[in-house]
Amino acid sequence: MSMPLLRNDWVVMALFTAVVLSAPIWLSPIGAGYPDLLQKFAIFGIFAIGFNLLFGLTGYLSFGHAVFLGIGSYTAVWSFKLLTMNVIPAVVFATLLAGVFAVVIGFLSLRRSGIYFSILTLAFAQMSYNLAYSVLTPITNGETGLQLTMNDPRVFDGPSGEGLPSTTLFGMDMSGYPGFYFCAVLLIIAFFISLRIFNSPFGLKLRAIKSNQTRMKYTGFNTKPYLLTVFVISGMYAGLAGSLMAITDPLAGAERMQWTASGEVVLMTILGGAGTLLGPLFGAGIIKYFENIFSALNSQTLHEIFAFLPDWLENIIVVIAGEFVGEGWHLTLGLLFMIVVIFLPGGVVEGIRRASAYIRKLFNRSETDEIALSAEKE
Amino acid sequence: MSIVLSIKNVDKTFGGLHALGDINLDIEEGKTHAIIGPNGAGKSTLLNCCIGRLIPDNGTVEFEGKNMIGMQPHEINHAGMVRVFQTPEIFPDLTVLQNVLIPALAKRDGIFKFNPFKSLSAETALEADAVHVLEDMGLGEHIFKHAGSMSRGDKRRLELAMGLVQHPRLLLLDEPTAGMARHDTNRTIDLLKRIKERGMTKIIIEHDMHVVFSLADKISVLAQGRIIASGTPDEIRGDPKVQEAYLGGAEL
Ligand SMILES: Nc1ncnc2c1ncn2[C@@H]1O[C@H](COP(=O)(O)OP(=O)(O)OP(=O)(O)O)[C@@H](O)[C@H]1O
Ligand SMILES: [Mg+2]
């Protein structure tokens, strides 16, 4: 960032806060200005920011981060069942418990680096996924998923009235916009912490580990505790995100821990730009937005879109395009991902950087042209 | 004179290769001790045994009275023994200034410190220190450059700066001028002389005899894993064994 103003954290935070809180307004022209999707942006934004602290700064690619997402969701639902429908304890306990699990999983996985680390994290996640469906069914409720019931104690809430209660923030109902704004505030806090870590000596050391870990050891650092600390922070971000998934819809299932969910956050981070502050947010936003649009399309809507073509061509195109929408939208995601990785290895953020450098060059050239012209006139 | 580093009966074999055999060496405080010898003599291996990269099969390495064998590299660094590597070991993805800030932070923060809310830009004292060392090394105008994009000679000087910023009790230099242009070599010699005036003890491995004879108070000659001679520069210059083993009879 070349502008000196942007070096000031508080200016960055003020801008970020304004942009996030006004998202319902500026995202509505592209059809994303409704609470459900906005909330998804915020939740996956938190997940990806946390993932990026580990992967972007240290280069350690966890392929099992969804396990913390799952732990967060289960903890939140249990908090709703046992304690209260208030979301605050749910969020706090989920984040802390994810942190505890991250200590254990991180401690064991970080005994290796590179691909072995990735495989270990993947193994832990798949193990947890399978346990959730088998031995742990009393806690996870197996394939049905963990849900609220009328018999839940909810010791702090007193007897509930008719039907299942809904989640609240000290009495405020958490569905719709309040739910989004709650997530948005947490996203702002999560971003702030990430910003501070990026600009701290701690963050610099993490980047140095990524650059040359061996050298770090001979420079006087024990790299293990650094890696474990950031792994735990990153796991807590995922736990927080997992709990937020349960706040509007208090339901937790094991599929949240599946490897595809772990892979998704990797895609988000790389697509947006690993190791950059804003990249993971862009990545999360883009993937969730496209998922929303493309998975909603079906062959009928495609026929409407391509109705202007001659019938035979329309049919062919709809058949081909049909593979890329609805259930097949992952194909689109795969293509998008390949294009970005091949042509823009630094992700969307690098794209923006290149574009702005290009524009700046254009401006500079026209300026120098003017100077040359005026010089000629004289 | 007190002994800073005392290497006793160190042996190291790699498979069948006897890389080091019964090495005994004492390094005196404040002195510059050069280790010379042909390629593959075991010079780098000896330094690796000192800083915990390799564990010798036999023998002890005592630094200021404490045995270093079995200690972790980062612990040895904090004890005050700092190594500059033969092939530049830097942080290629960071800027030159950040490369020097890292060892400065290590010196201040110790083996581990969690300070995620401290701003790096508030570390003005450390930064001033780092910039000062870089200017000393003649890298003043490169401080915001990507370290990975520098020339090999500049990388070596950068690594030297990374060692110096920690103000080590004992600095181990593995061919600090290899790959440098003559001009930069002379500059490095000047710098190392200045450091010597400040009383820093050094071990320096070098092939360039000009560098060795401008800096060394004492020289040890290593050939095929054994120390074949040790003495003042004048003694070494006149030693026929050295001329034979190392210099192939050439006049020094
Ligand atoms: N880790 C290792 N494993 C196996 N053999 C090794 C290892 N390190 C060094 N050697 C061997 O030990 C011998 C001594 O190597 P060393 O690097 O210490 O030599 P040197 O004196 O530093 O040479 P140069 O002047 O070329 O740097 C060489 O034959 C080398 O091949
Ligand atoms: Mg060597």
Distance from CA of B102 to the nearest CA of A (A): 7
Residue position matching structure tokens 């908090």: A79
pLDDT at A175: 86
For residue A2, name the pLDDT band (cuts at 50, 70, 90): very low
Token couple for A129: 């996924």
Of the candidate ranges A328-332, A358-362, B114-118, B248-252, the one whose mean pLDDT is the lowest: B248-252
- Strands B201-205, B81-84: pairing kind: unpaired
CB contact at 8 A, B50 and B56: no
- Please give the tally of structural domains in chain B: 2
Do residue B100 and residue B111 come from a single domain? yes
Do residue B235 and residue B246 come from a single domain? yes
Helix (H/G/I), strand (E/B), else coil: A34: coil
State if residue B14 touches ligand 1 by the CB under 6 angstroms criterion.
yes
CB contact under 8 A, B94 and A204: yes
Residue A242 phi, psi dihedral angles, 5° rounding:
-60, -40
In chain A, the percentage of residues whose pLDDT exceeds 90 is: 63
Token couple for A291: 């998922």
The domain boundary, picked from B167, B189, B220, lies at B167
**Which of B12, B23, B36, B43 has most ligand 1 atoms within 8 Å of CB, for mutation?**
B43
Is residue B250 pLDDT above 60, yes or no? no
In chain B, the percentage of residues whose pLDDT exceeds 70 is: 96
CB contact at 8 A, B194 and B210: no
Do residue B146 and residue B189 come from a single domain? no
Give yes or no for B152 touching A (CB within 8 A). no
Tell me the C-alpha distance between A247 and A72, whole Å.
Answer: 11
State if residue B39 touches ligand 1 by the CB under 6 angstroms criterion.
yes
Do residue B19 and residue B49 come from a single domain? yes
Do residue B160 and residue B176 come from a single domain? no
Averaged over B21-50, what is the pLDDT?
A: 93
Average pLDDT, chain B: 90
Residue of B136, B170, B175 whose CA lies nearest to B41: B175
Using only the alpha carbons of chain A, give its radius of gyration: 23
Give yes or no for A345 touching B (CB within 8 A). no
Single-letter amino acid, residue A311: D
For residue B55, what are the domain limits?
A: 1-80+169-252
Distances (CA, A) of B48 to A260, B7, B25, B43, B202: 44, 12, 15, 9, 15
Q: What secondary structure letter does DSSP report for A22? A: T
Distance from CA of A227 to the nearest CA of B (A): 11
CB contact under 8 A, B94 and A208: yes
Query: Which residue's CA is the closest to the ligand 1 atom numbered 5?
Result: B14
State if residue B48 touches ligand 1 by the CB under 6 angstroms criterion.
no
- Residues in chain B within 8 Å Cβ distance of A1: none
For residue A372, name the pLDDT band (cuts at 50, 70, 90): low
Give yes or no for A13 touching B (CB within 8 A). no
| Helices and strands of chain A, counted as H and E runs | 17, 4
Do residue B105 and residue B173 come from a single domain? no
CB contact under 8 A, B74 and A218: yes
**Nearest residue of chain B to residue A59 (CA atoms):** B93
Residue of B1, B2, B22 whose CA lies nearest to B12: B22
Tell me the C-alpha distance between B90 and A90, whole Å.
Answer: 45
Tell me the C-alpha distance between A16 and A120, whole Å.
Answer: 36
Is residue B127 pLDDT above 50, yes or no? yes
Residue B18 is part of a domain; what is its CATH number?
3.40.50.300
For the entire predicted model, the pTM comes to 0.92
Residue of A8, A40, A52 whose CA lies nearest to A279: A52
Do residue B174 and residue B163 come from a single domain? no
Query: Which residue's CA is the closest to the ligand 1 atom numbered 7?
Result: B14
Helix (H/G/I), strand (E/B), else coil: A27: coil
Token couple for B236: 């070494």
Token couple for A339: 């294009």
Residue of B128, B173, B132 whose CA lies nearest to B27: B173
Give yes or no for A189 touching B (CB within 8 A). no
For residue B252, name the pLDDT band (cuts at 50, 70, 90): very low
- The pLDDT tens digits of the residues spanning A40-89 come to 999 999 999 999 999 999 999 999 999 999 999 999 999 999 999 999 99
CA of A44 to the centre of ligand 2 (A): 50
- Strands B170-174, B32-36: pairing kind: unpaired
Residue position matching structure tokens 């396990």: A67
CA of B2 to the centre of ligand 2 (A): 28
Give yes or no for A12 touching B (CB within 8 A). no
CA of B19 to the centre of ligand 1 (A): 7
CB-nearest to A207 from B85, B94, B162 is: B94
- The pLDDT tens digits of the residues spanning B129-184 come to 999 999 988 899 999 999 999 988 889 999 999 999 999 999 999 998 887 888 88
Is residue A371 pLDDT above 70, yes or no? no
CB contact under 8 A, B117 and A200: yes
A2 compared with B40, residue with greater pLDDT: B40
Do residue B183 and residue B142 come from a single domain? no
CB contact under 8 A, B116 and A204: no
Query: Which residue's CA is the closest to the ligand 1 atom numbered 26?
Result: B39
Do residue B100 and residue B174 come from a single domain? no
Do residue B180 and residue B246 come from a single domain? yes
Is residue A376 pLDDT above 60, yes or no? no
Do residue B95 and residue B153 come from a single domain? yes
Of the candidate ranges A45-54, A234-243, A256-265, the one whose mean pLDDT is the lowest: A256-265
State if residue B44 touches ligand 1 by the CB under 6 angstroms criterion.
yes
Token couple for A154: 């909810």
CB contact under 8 A, A222 and B119: no
CA of B35 to the centre of ligand 1 (A): 14
Averaged over B29-51, what is the pLDDT?
A: 93
Token couple for A367: 């300026």
Residues forming beta bridges with residue A252, ordered by sequence position: A146
The domain boundary, picked from B110, B134, B167, lies at B167
Q: Estimate the share of chain B in helix, then strand, then coil, as percent rounded to the nearest 5.
A: 40, 25, 35
pLDDT at A333: 84
For residue A242, name the pLDDT band (cuts at 50, 70, 90): very high
CB contact under 8 A, A211 and B72: no
State the closest ligand 1 atom to the C-alpha of B45, by its place in the atom list counted from 1.
18
The domain boundary, picked from B167, B200, B225, lies at B167
Tell me the C-alpha distance between B184 and B164, whole Å.
Answer: 17
**Which of B12, B39, B44, B211 has most ligand 1 atoms within 8 Å of CB, for mutation?**
B44
Give yes or no for B227 touching A (CB within 8 A). no
- The pLDDT tens digits of the residues spanning A137-190 come to 899 998 889 998 888 888 888 776 777 888 889 888 888 899 999 999 999 999
Do residue B162 and residue B174 come from a single domain? no
Tell me the C-alpha distance between B197 and A321, whole Å.
Answer: 76
